[in-house]
Chains A and B, each alone.
Chain A
Amino acid sequence: MIVRRLVGALDERIGSSSFLKKALDKVFPDHWAFMLGEICVYGFVVLLLTGTYVAFFFNDSDHATIYRGVYAPLSGRSVPASYASVLYLSFEAPLGLLIRQMHHWSALVFIGAIVLHMSRVFFTGAFRKPRDLNWTFGVLLLLLGIGAGFTGYSLPGDLLSGVGLRIAYSVAQSIPFVGTWLAFGFFGGPFPTHEMTQRLFITHVWLVPLLIITVMSLHLGLVWRQHHTQFAGPGRTERNVVGSTLWPYYAMKSIGLFAATIGVVALLGGFFTINPIWMYGPYDPWKVASPAQPDWYVAWLDGSLRLGPALAVRLFGHTISPLFWSGVVLPGALFGGMLAWPFLERKITGDRDAHNIVTMPYETPWRLGLGVAVITFATVLGFAGSDDIQAKLLHVEVEKAMYAYRIALIIAPPVFGLIAVAIGFDLRARFETLAGKRQIRRASLTRNADGGFDIDHKKATPS
């Protein structure tokens, strides 16, 4: 009866038992779509574990040192100490390369899972009141995830990420009035600087993770407080949650998913090379490798830089470079729109009620169309970010590919969006007819003294 004594002892000190009982009995809806967010959490846990491991090997100094490690082609080269430390981790620390690659892969998976999870929340309308606040935290988490990824990608002092950093610096510099201040503020001065590795390091291992942990705690805290949403169904109302309890069902499922996440990341980390910095070489600012691309979660920004108009504005002795439109205005509008959407939709539909029952995507065809259009837009940008690679593989001129992407960027989103709207209306009509024919009975369940449920078919369920 050690458990009883432990629970009792804790309760005497912090009065935990009523909370514990409530927590263990907390009900989660049984639907796969509600578990996408958990991949994000476990991806982040894997990131923290592997990241802590690799951080112990990383040297955040950019002082030139002579590489004397085992990788023959670079032997005797003068490289930044940071680069040399990552080479040591990759080639000399046993399994260091595996853990480093798992770290990088879990970052790609983490942000991918965030995007999937956000898509689910968007298409089912789970961002509506009372969860509009939590949607805001979610968008912030996506931004922070991208920030964490980009700063980490830029750390090792390799040629590929060095070129990317210079692009990021140039984008920051393009902002009117404050651009140079911002760029100098982060980098210390004109690119490249001796401060940047150090600053990227502290940003990557402390500042951004701290913010992610904070916002993620708020995000999960709100989910806890507000409970999960659920799809409409027999016995499901705005006032209840139907599903499985945390203990033992969800605990088993969730820990199983954690194990699966580790397994998947290990599969990628062990069998697919990621960021082979020994191939890229140390960053010498006058060199570049082709093709040059960022990780996928920044690819859409790179695509935006490629497709953006070559439009520089010069007025009153000042310059606004083309980077501003494609590197600042476009992502700003995209993320601004995402942050504002719950409030915009409330304005448009006039629906100010709180919702705990979420809808199937086809039930709101216009929202479905909007989401599909935005995702298409970002996808076209993302693919445009590797137009040179496609040009090589498909034997087309990269210039033609760029024009094709410019056209696709304008045409594809509305076309795919409208197709989605049409499909949505069609599906909605079909399901409504079906529902009418079947006359699905609704039941009300009441818990009885034995712990079972009494079913009452007559009692109407509020919805």
Chain B
Amino acid sequence: MRKLELLVAILLVVAMLCGGVFAAVYALGAQIQLAAAMLVLGFGSLAAAMVVWERRLMPGRVSIEDRGSLPSGEEKNDAAAQTLLAGADAIVGRRTWLVRLFGGAIAALGVGALFPLRSFAPRLTGIDQLSHTSWKFGIRLVREDGTAVRASDLENDSILTVFPEGRVGPQFIDEMANDATVLVRVPPAELALPPARATWGPQGLLAFSKVCTHAGCPVALYRAKARQLFCPCHQSTFDVRTGGGRIFGPAARGLPQLPIAIAPDGTLHALGDYPEPIGPGYWERA
């Protein structure tokens, strides 16, 4: 027993020292690993001391406690129920119409109190804004820093994230989240665009929404030689050559394609907004 007492004593002294050293570590530059080591050693020793103390130094004994019985018995249940009913009777009596009015008052106040919740969604009136982005006819494609993109800036196997001109910068972050578009270039001969979009890939330049149609992650990985866009979040994969068609993964739709054209000065501009709402599906989406 004396040995164990000594052990507990040593552990407690270690814990005490650790407290002191911890304070010293903080004062002398607060090195994180040293401080953490002191906490580990200090609290570890304290825990060990208490466990050894409880297990080996304290007299062992078993205690037995009567649980008692949770159920109070039928009699008391009945009495409680009786009191409830009697009280209710005193309130209601024959005044059931008053009770109905009371219920109505509570309901009206409750429903009324729900209305301020609507303030949490100030932009709920604009659900249809989900189906638009800032892209419009004639808007030029610009980089993250606002500089215009020229057709000659991209070669085959290139990818660039672009935004509508005038909608970049810290004050437009919300718009940029949904306007983000990837511009890629592939040899025009490889294209197999749907007939309706035959002209949407001028000189092999194609623009797709960067917002995954599955869960909204940026589809930022481009396997250039395979002409595939790949979402790092849930591995949905889209084929650039077929106009963003889905080829693998949990996304149910392909990536929306942005119609673009090359202006005479070589810059690129949009021919309109995305033909369908970008990003994941939602109830109001037609």
A residues contacting B by CB (< 8 A) are 25-27, 64, 78, 94-95, 97-98, 130, 163, 166-167, 169-171, 173-181, 183-186, 188-194, 225-227, 235, 238-245, 248-249, 252-253, 255-257, 259-260, 262-264, 266-267, 269-271, 284-292, 302, 305-312, 317-323, 326, 354, 356, 387-388, 398-399, 402, 445, 447, 453
Per the bound structure, the CA–CA distance linking A292 and B250 in Å amounts to 16
Given A163-B217, A177-B283, A189-B126, A248:B58 Cβ within 8 A = yes
Interface size on B, residues (CB 8 A): 80
Asked if A256 and B283 make an inter-chain contact with CB atoms under 8 angstroms apart, the answer reads: no
**Contact A291:B252 (CB < 8 A) given known A256-B46, A260-B47, A354-B70:** no
B123 touches A97 (CB 8 A): no
Say yes or no: B250 contacts A308, CB within 8 Å: yes
In the complex, which residue of chain B has the Cβ closest to the Cβ of A63?
A: B170
Identify which of B67, B70, B210, B279 gathers the most chain A CB atoms within 10 Å of its CB. Answer: B67
Q: A286's contact among B37, B70, B210, B251, by CB below 8 Å, is which?
A: B210
B43 partner, pick from A227, A260, A287, beta carbons under 8 A: A260
Quote the shortest CB–CB distance from A147 to chain B (angstroms). Answer: 17
Question: Which residues of B from 143 to 194 have beta carbons under 8 Å from A?
Answer: 144, 161, 163, 170, 173-174, 176-178, 180
A252-B58, A270-B35 are known contacts. Are A398 and B235 too (CB-CB below 8 A)?
yes
Which of chain B's residues has its CB closest to A252's CB? B54
Contact indicator B120/A445 (Cβ below 8 Å):
no
CA distance A356 to B129 in the complex (A): 58
The contact of B216 among A169, A307, A326, by CB within 8 Å, is A169
- Distance from A65 Cβ to chain B, minimum over Cβ atoms (Å): 10
Specify which chain B residues have a CB less than 8 angstroms from the CB of A286 in the assembled complex: 144, 161, 163, 176-177, 180, 210, 218
- Partner among B40, B144, B215 whose Cβ is within 8 Å of the Cβ of A167: B215
A320:B215 contact, CB within 8 angstroms: no
Complex alpha-carbon distance, A264 and B36, angstroms: 10
In whole Å, how far is A180's beta carbon from the nearest beta carbon of chain B? 6
Chain B residues with CB under 8 Å of A310's CB are 214, 246, 249-252
Q: A180-B283, A253-B50 are contacts. A241–B220 as well, Cβ < 8 Å?
A: no
Chain B residue numbers with a CB within 8 Å of A171 are 215
Report the bound CA distance from A457 to B136 in whole Å. Answer: 90
Chain A residue at smallest Cβ distance from B50: A256
Q: With A259-B47, A286-B161, A292-B232 given, is the CB distance from A78 to B170 under 8 Å?
A: yes
Knowing A290-B232, A319-B282, A319-B283 are in contact, say whether A95-B26 is a contact too (CB < 8 A): yes
Contacts of A194 in B (CB 8 A): 174
Task: Name the A residues within 8 Å of B282 (CB-CB).
Answer: 173-174, 179-180, 183, 319, 321
Contact B170 A25 (CB under 8 A): no
Tell whether B44 is near chain A: CB-to-CB under 8 Å. yes
* Complex interface bits, B260-286 against A, C-beta within 8 A gives 1, otherwise 0: 000000000000000000011111111
Structural contact, A257 and B47, CB atoms closer than 8 A? yes
Most buried by A among B42, B51, B126, B285: B285
Report 14 cross-chain contacts, Cβ distance below 8 Å, ordered by A residue: A25-B63, A95-B26, A166-B217, A170-B216, A183-B282, A192-B173, A239-B69, A269-B36, A270-B37, A271-B36, A286-B161, A292-B232, A320-B283, A402-B249
Contact yes or no, B249 A284, CB < 8 A: no
Q: State which of A98, A285, A319, A326 has its C-beta within 8 Å of the C-beta of B32.
A: A98
Asked whether B88 is an interface residue with its Cβ less than 8 Å from the other chain, the reply is no
B122 within 8 A of A: yes
* Residue B74 CB within 8 A of the other chain: no
Asked if B54 contacts A190 (CB within 8 A), the reply is no
